[in-house]
Structure 1
Amino acid sequence: MSQQQFAAVDVIRTKRDRGELSDAQIDWVVDAYTRGEVAEEQMSALAMAVLLNGMTRAEVSRWTGAMIASGARLDFTDLPRPSVDKHSTGGVGDKTTLPLAPLVAACGAAVPQLSGRGLGHTGGTLDKLEAIPGWRASLTLPEIRAQLTDLGAVICAATGDLAPADKKLYALRDVTGTVEAIPLIASSIMSKKIAEGTSALVLDVKTGSGAFMKELAQSVELARTMVDLGTDAGVRTVAVVTDMSTVLGRTAGNALEVRESVEVLAGGGPADLVELTLVLAREMLAAVGLDAVDPADALADGRAMDAWRRMVAAQGGDPDAPLPVARHTQDVLAPADGFLHVDAMAVGVAAWRLGAGRSRREEAVQAGAGVELHAVRGDRVRAGQRIATLHTDTPERFEWAVQALEGGFPVSATAPEPVPLVHQRVTA
């Protein structure tokens, strides 16, 4: 990396005035910010300039490379199986990582799924899995490598030395109104994913009311930017833009979503969750040359369930243990006769308020809290019919959760228009 020195204010002015940052400027500012030489207020100004004026493909690629260079980079090329990872931009009820990792492993690939915790209305994969008694999220790199070699799948916390620049910049964006900058979103996600060292990556970019990106055009732009970044870094990358205007599956919560994921692995589960799991599995297998294998067969014959049980047990979890159940429940009733609509964001916020999510990173979550749907978008319901159940250990939260659901379950005389689960596929 270049050791050339710059004045932070000059870098800020370049982007403020819609100029293109040089490779040397990008290398310096990311490194200097990580070391504390560039002040928080200076990086705040640069992040806002990026939000307002954007970045070229070359700038985003170099920025991502500088963030990767701020820490370690893993290498799984010596594994006995080809490695492939999946990343989702997050949504309500998006539990696909849980059935997907063992399913793809059962089909012959290695899946190093380094995951995170939830914040706000989107659930975290690690929070969900920690509902399983005994399961542990933190593994050493030798443990990750051994599990990938033996079982083909690991879902665990990312090691702290991957892209430390991203951790610092992510926190800054959160408090400066610059979270929405697509170049910064894309580089944040891809710096970590490229640093994980897999040979291929499948991106599940959500769009709709329950997604971070509400508009399809924005979601496609983010998908395109990330596919370009992966391609530029030599990682075979493909993205699917999928719907998040309603809840995926029938649950939003931690133990509730684990239970639903196990139903998928057992050959059942909600049709939309099964469909998306298979779509992503086929993309992951194709990306590493295993497209002759049909993942639907591995669900049907029990291989995926066997892989799940071994994966959970390898990380100290008991796959046979009963999952936690919330101490209190409250039903939500249909307000009228007609066709049900379900707003994903409302359900996600309700689950968070019930204790399934957190508003600050240090908060604990309730394993059993969340929302369980008994009817889904397009179902015909009758007034007073039970359409959802709220779960929590702290019943004083019910009123707050019900407020979040006001308008979240509208009923109309006409059925909602069908929405495709997969809107678009984006490739290099």
Structure 2
Amino acid sequence: MDYHDPAAGREVADRTRAFVEEDVIPVERDLLGDGPVSAETVATLRERAREREVYAPQIPEEYGGLGLDFREALPVFEAAGRSLLGPAAIRAAAPDEGNMHTLEMVGTDEQKERWLRPLAEGEARSAFSMTEPLQGGGSDPKMIRTTAERDGDEWVINGHKWWTTQGTEADVLIVMARTDPDAHPYQGCSMFLVPADADGVEVVRDIPHVGGEVTGMSHAEIRYRDVRVPEANMLGAKNAGFAIAQRRLGPARLTHCMRYSGMAQRALEIAKAYTAERQAFGEALAEKESLRHRVADAETQLHAARTMVRHAARTIAEGGEGRVPVAMSKVFTANAVQHAVDEAIQLCGGNGIGKDLPLADFYENVRAFRIIDGADEVHRRVIARDAYDGVNEDAIEGITRYEG
């Protein structure tokens, strides 16, 4: 399919796909069933990515990236997503990708030099610490309990977070906290850059979870006990935390969609190759019409997902918020990708659930996508609210007359 992506993005995407096929997937094959990948291996892959001019496609050139804009970068993320190691290898994996984007958007010059530059260069790691345990902020972020109180020229942070992706390995944590307890949370929360080694930051544990065996990325439970950071560590304006989060999460959800689309496409390619080769009941499985229809349905859903993501990206690139298109893209893509990977496993039979192929690891990782970056139910709530906001009074009156 031709999605009419900008030429610069297509060129880098072609190079990225070649890089993933020739450099990343051989490493992935060595790790299957044995992971996770080591930091040294990731560093080696990143050096190779620099040599092949695919490193940090979304980062401005002044920080060592390729300087692609949002729409140009989307097909590159998809090409990288063909392997679980691809996004990390080109420095476009969550949560660093979204955190670097946030620093680029609202960080001060000092914050960019201290944190964005080493993050872009791959010399530091970051985490986004927002989600809280029961009964704190989660799918309903208004329930946020973590606080930050002003004390002279410092802020004192207290709270309990979990599912802080890369929280154990991070050098800096972006922490969302309430700074105005009397205001609505949407107008009373701020973001702070908290060094991971600051006094009072306690990593309680890495939460055991489905997936992650190849990448080895943690999802940490963290307590913040009287953690002090200077005023200069506030990220963006005071009480603008949720506004910044929306600017961060919209694009981040779409880049997630593209990474997972790449995974789903490769899963289908593996299934098609296997069924073309595997003989059963007198012919290749690929000749069975019911199997062909299942592949056709998965390909159709994946095409629809890609198209939706690009529409939402265009909306954002043109200055719109794109909240509903992003919600539609995220919930549809998450389910389409899960369906594609599940079908690929089924079509490959015993080989699908074994770890000689990447499908089992894909399956474990893709299930979380229907929860992370907003659960399906949250996005459907956004879509439904918009749908009912547009209910036509004349239509209601007509229905009333008809029923009467």
Same fold by TM-score greater than 0.5: no
TM-score for both structures, normalised by structure 1:
0.26
TM-score for both structures, normalised by structure 2:
0.28
**Higher RCO (Cα < 8 Å, 6 or more apart):** 1
Per residue, is there more helix in 1 or in 2?
2
